[in-house]
Structure 1
Amino acid sequence: MGQVRRRRFLIASGALLATPLASFAQQRGKVWSIAFLASSKPLSRGEPDPYGAAFVGEMQAAGHTFGVDYVIEVSSADDDYERLPALANELVLRNVDIIIAVTLPAIIAAHKASKTVPIVCIGVHDPVGMGLAASLARPGGNLTGLATFYGDLFPKHLELLKSILPKVTSVALLANASVMRMVPGGEQIVREAAQKLGMRAHAVPVDSAAQLPQAFASMTRERAGAFIALADVIFLRERRQVAELALKHRLPSFFANRENVQAGGLVSYGEDGVEMFAQAARYVSKIMKGAKPGNLPIEQPTKFHLAINRKTAVALKLTIPQEMLLRADEVII
């Protein structure tokens, strides 16, 4: 295993319990080994895990009992994205049955590591354009899952921003630097969408949570009137720090994850992360029952959640349009 530290966990009742992963024979009564490969953990130590609970719950609904029909381990790079290829290769060498890759860097690492081990993706950006699938309807190969198209989400965030802040002309994009490097033309997508609404957009990349204070200082120097955070586990895990820095710098904030708004961000609009993990379980169930990943269509999210934090709006002396409040799925007061 060398310098690569292996972390093995079982997910049960929303908790992560340390346990070794066993090896099982290929026969009736087989216990499947399912590995989550992630760039980082989205939760701080000790926080409840609604994502793991959603996965296990959906698997149980499909007739697969945790600890009897399957076991789970989580392999996390802990924000060190350069470790992902080694972690992915290690999973393949240990003959795990299915890899669930979370976030684009993990998905790319898993795809490079194996063309045979079934891979279920959560949040893959433009899988056809990235060369990960032949098509959404019939991806081919060993990869399937849930796609996210940044080009579809950014314009919506900008529209929401413009509705609340009609006079803003400059907006910052807070993004994980590693992810931005992997998305061809990602920054250009944002700039073009902003230009259509009469705004100027510029990227503020960070490589780690330690760089967040400098990132917000940079936004202030650049006179950004607000910022949009690209969905990423760093901003999800550090959501309280991000919200506090946004208020400190008097910057209205827009996110993809509702948890960021629950922690003090202003507005979120995006896929339901918990539902995506439940949907991933449905893919895994089909594979366990004999389906080939390449024959399972890659799906795009159909349910989006709009959350607004009125307490944060008051703190920033902003007025949320009544129409937006009525459309919101969640309003925090």
Structure 2
Amino acid sequence: MMDRRAFIATLARGLMAAPLTLLAQPQSRLARIGFLAAGSASTRVQQPFLQGMRELGLVEGRDFAVDWRFAEGRYERLPGLGAELVRLKVDVIVAVTTLCVQAAHQATTTTPIVMVGVPDPIGEGFAVSLSRPGGNITGLTNIVTEVSSKHLELLQVAVPRLSLVAVLINPGNPSDALILEQIEGTAYTRRIKVLQVEAGTASQIEAGFAAITRARAQAVIVATDSYFDVQQELIIKLAVGNRLPTISSSPEMTEAGGLMSYGQDLAMHYRRAATYVDKILKGAKPGSLPIEQPTVLEFVINRKTARVLGLVIPRELELRADRAIE
């Protein structure tokens, strides 16, 4: 039989070991989210996504961690950044724009990918259909190609006797070619000539505006592009300096001094991306989650820029504007 001293010693060892056993129990694992964007780090990108996660009851640092990766407009970096996120073994990748989705998809066909802002996911081979995409990609489309025709229509109202419009595109962005094609089709029916201007660097943007001025174009459509977002201050400086009205899909560019913008609310899309991430983390398969299309578009006018350019905004546009910047 165990004597009294041996019993006490055994009991003491058990009591000492109990807390160590509890401490050794595994803690709940943080979900790891990769976020890949072609532009620059910005609260306009990051905060809406984090807000969307909070609205779902998920707190950064408690429930999930985000590995942010931004290419700063240098598209050649995207494949490496996408591969890096896969090596980190993230649970899901949020990829913003077509080039980011391409880079992530090249790196993995198994890790779920939530796309944001892709004009043609079926044409790009990311999905079989919008209702049931299949594969490892789902998320949200954009309609930058479709609204580009509207950009031309709005410019024609804002700029009297518009006959030549320049279209600034990035040759490294496949979506911009679709935008240009759409604008050219609309311009032909309206008897407006189109000047195609390609730029993928700051010096090319400067040279492009010099060409626009020489050609005496009366306005500029800035195609949707992450590098143009990075360089928006330069673009607006050159446009205003040359007294050129601009329109884009980006309200941020209008806030920075562009004349007008018409497009979807990307902040809302980043919030919606969080819903996809939450469902995937809970076990949903991306291939069975329908792809969403934008339903809300915003038209913004910068009245201050109009005054600088010497333009009088027609009453028709004032009434249609969702927001006016003084």
User: What's the TM-score bracket when you normalise by the shorter of the two chains?
Assistant: 0.7 to 0.9
Q: Would you say the 8 A contact 1:58–1:281 is kept in 2?
A: yes
Q: 1:309 to 1:186 in 2, by over 3 A?
A: closer
Is residue 168 of structure 1 aligned with residue 162 of structure 2? yes
Q: Which amino acid is the alignment partner of residue 94 of structure 2?
A: I
Q: How does 1:113-262 map to 2 (within 5 A)?
A: 113-180=107-174, 185-262=178-255
**Match 2:62 to one of 51, 59, 68:** 68
Is the partner of 1:177 in helix, strand or coil? coil
CA offsets 1:215-250 (integer angstroms, 9 cap, x no match): 211111222111111122222233222211101111
Deviation at 1:30, TM superposition (A): 2.5
Match of 1:50 in 2: 44
Deviation at 1:133, TM superposition (A): 0.7
**Match 1:321 to one of 311, 314, 322:** 314
Match of 1:303 in 2: 296
Match of 1:22 in 2: none
Match of 1:7 in 2: none
Q: Which runs of 5+ in 1 are unaligned?
A: 1-26, 44-48
CA offsets 1:171-220 (integer angstroms, 9 cap, x no match): 1111222104x666543222112112221223212112343211211111
Match of 2:9 in 1: none
Normalization by structure 1: what TM-score?
Answer: 0.85
Deviation at 1:287, TM superposition (A): 1.0
**Greater Cα offset, 276-285 or 86-95:** 86-95
State the number of aligned residues.
301
**Greater Cα offset, 97-106 or 189-198:** 189-198
Is the partner of 2:161 in helix, strand or coil? coil
Match of 1:312 in 2: 305
Q: Would you say the 8 A contact 1:154–1:193 is kept in 2?
A: no
Q: Which amino acid is the alignment partner of residue 63 of structure 1?
A: G
Normalization by structure 2: what TM-score?
Answer: 0.87
Is residue 41 of structure 1 aligned with residue 40 of structure 2? yes
CA RMSD of aligned residues (A): 1.8
Q: 1:169 to 1:208 in 2, by over 3 A?
A: same
**Greater Cα offset, 90-99 or 116-125:** 90-99
Deviation at 1:308, TM superposition (A): 0.3
Q: How does 1:11-22 map to 2 (within 5 A)?
A: none
**Greater Cα offset, 198-207 or 290-299:** 198-207
Is the partner of 2:216 in helix, strand or coil? coil
Q: Would you say the 8 A contact 2:140–2:273 is kept in 1?
A: yes
Identity of aligned residues (%): 41
Is the partner of 1:227 in helix, strand or coil? strand
Match of 1:18 in 2: none
Q: Which amino acid is the alignment partner of residue 69 of structure 2?
A: S
Is the partner of 1:137 in helix, strand or coil? coil
Q: Which amino acid is the alignment partner of residue 97 of structure 2?
A: T
Is the partner of 2:206 in helix, strand or coil? helix
**Match 2:72 to one of 64, 72, 78:** 78
Q: 1:59 to 1:33 in 2, by over 3 A?
A: same
Deviation at 1:83, TM superposition (A): 2.0
CA offsets 1:29-78 (integer angstroms, 9 cap, x no match): 321111111222164xxxxx133111111111112111111101111223
**Greater Cα offset, 245-254 or 319-328:** 319-328
Q: 1:186 to 1:305 in 2, by over 3 A?
A: closer
Match of 1:15 in 2: none
Q: Would you say the 8 A contact 2:67–2:85 is kept in 1?
A: no
Match of 2:12 in 1: none
Q: Write 1 or 2 for the structure with the bigger share of helix.
A: 2
Q: Which runs of 5+ in 2 are unaligned?
A: 1-25
Q: 1:184 to 1:260 in 2, by over 3 A?
A: closer
Q: Would you say the 8 A contact 1:79–1:208 is kept in 2?
A: no
Distance in 2 of aligned mates of 1:196 and 1:218: 25
CA offsets 1:235-267 (integer angstroms, 9 cap, x no match): 223322221110111111001111111111000
